[in-house]
Amino acid sequence: MKTKILAFATAVLIFGACTTKNKEDQGQADQNISALNLDASKFKSKIDGKTNALYLMKNANGMEVAVTNYGGRIVSVLVPDRDGKMQDVVLGFDNIADYTNNNNNFGAIIGRYGNRIAHAKFVLNTAAFTLRQNNGQNCLHGGPRGFDTQMFDISQADPQTLVCTYLSKHNEEGFPGNLNVTVTYTLSDDNALAIKYEATTDRPTVVNLTNHSYFNLSGDANNTILDHTLVVDADTYTPTNEQLIPTGKIEKLAGTPLNFKNPTVIGQRIDDSSFIAIKYGMGYDHNFVLNKAGDMNNAAAKLVCPSTGISMEVFTNEPAIQVYTGNFLDGTMKGKNGVTYQKRTAICLETQHFPDSPNQPQFPSTELRPEGKYLSLCTYKFGVE
């Protein structure tokens, strides 16, 4: 009990870091212990002229979430397993240098456009825009200097709420318009982490924001997620070409290795390369069209780990979810607790609009105009079975 009290006090001091310099100095000097076994002093850094720090949220059940300014990234999510033991269920690093020195999206806010835009080009209202390429000839996750590499300001830091803001300037990575972005993380006492994305623009643009957390509900990234059970409430998906750009069609999942309508062990069909979509994605890396788009009361997906009993439901108002099984993790990055992240040691469940929508008029529009407001909602709710 004494350890927990000390840990919570530490978390409160970290929150003070966003208000005044004296509190920042006090908080950072006291960071030898934290509730998440993270040393906040290892996150204190100047990046692009701004101060980076580590912020902790904690609910009444002991669930804890750590977030840092750089990319607005979720660094750690601590939840209880079926035996009451706390498990960190996301991949990441225990210091800011590893985030900035490695090409990764661990836990990051993704923008301006999550997923791919073909040929890094699109036309909006007869105006042509050229983006920066970073995935062959395509633009992936907003380009090489997407939101995952940007410093977010913290406008509010409370024990269960963190508000991150960022101004994406006109022509950043080639996207039009000054885009004011607010991302609010809220940790509720029912062990749900809600993410609210809001944005406004001063000229027409395209927006598709998401979070790129890598989940492993075993709490040990030495394990793969191949034994996890997945459900996705989708009957269709958007097939792609070899570069993972949608063909423009929407096809049925029934009878394919991509069908997760009923609980299915991820590893059961992940290597069925006779199905071309599996071959192109080197596993699962696909956009699932949700059956109940916009319905926040219906779980879009559910993930369960058999060894810990930890479950995670995903709720969203978005029309789709990208299921990515860490196929490109290659053992070159060493994360928290000294674990080397290997292929398929995590899964991403990214709520989103469709990839390449700016070039696919038949897909739901991602256009944002000055008179409008972008709003995207995603909740990750944890439990045990």
pLDDT band per the 50, 70, 90 thresholds, residue 13: very low
Average pLDDT over residues 261-269: 98
Is residue 282 included in any domain, yes or no? Answer: yes
Helices (H), the chain: 2-15, 21-29, 96-101, 276-281
Is residue 156 included in any domain, yes or no? Answer: yes
**pLDDT above 70: residue 125:** yes
How much is the pLDDT for 103? Answer: 86
Is residue 9 included in any domain, yes or no? Answer: no
How much is the pLDDT for 36? Answer: 63
Distance CA 172, CA 367 (A): 17
How much is the pLDDT for 1? Answer: 34
Structural domains in the chain (count):
1
From the CB of residue 322, how many other CB atoms can be counted at a distance below 10 Å?
Answer: 21
119 is catalytic: no
Full-model pTM: 0.92
Q: Which of 141, 212, 286, 353 is catalytic?
A: 212
Instruction: Report the interhelical angle of 21-29 vs 2-15 (nearest 10°).
Output: 150
Helices (H), 241-373: 276-281
DSSP state of 372: -
Is residue 293 included in any domain, yes or no? Answer: yes
Tokens describing residue 297: 């009361």
User: Which residues, 6+ apart, have CB-to-CB distance to 349 below 8 Å?
Assistant: 215, 301, 303, 312, 314, 321, 322, 323
Is residue 25 included in any domain, yes or no? Answer: no
Please give the single-letter amino acid code of residue 340: T
User: Which residues, 6+ apart, have CB-to-CB distance to 303 below 8 Å?
Assistant: 215, 217, 228, 229, 230, 311, 312, 314, 347, 349
* Domain region containing 168: 40-384
Tell me what the pLDDT averaged over the chain comes to. Answer: 92
Is residue 13 included in any domain, yes or no? Answer: no
Distance CA 297, CA 307 (A): 28
Burial label, 307 (beta-carbon count in 10 A; 0-12, 13-18, 19+): middle
Give pLDDT tens digits for 176-225. 999 999 999 999 999 999 999 999 999 999 999 999 999 999 999 999 99
Tokens describing residue 140: 């992936």
The percent of the chain in helix, strand and coil, each rounded to the nearest 5, is: 15, 35, 45
Beta-bridge mates of residue 111: none
Element (H, E) at 5: helix 2-15
Domain of 107, CATH number, reads: 2.70.98.10
Q: Which of 172, 173, 318, 350 is catalytic?
A: 350
212 is catalytic: yes
Is residue 71 included in any domain, yes or no? Answer: yes
Average pLDDT over residues 253-278: 97
Distance CA 186, CA 274 (A): 42
In sign, the C-alpha dihedral spanning 353, 356, 361, 367 is: positive
Rg (alpha carbons) of the chain, rounded to whole number: 20
Tokens describing residue 370: 């000055």
Phi then psi dihedrals of residue 138, to 5 deg: -105, 170
Is residue 19 included in any domain, yes or no? Answer: no
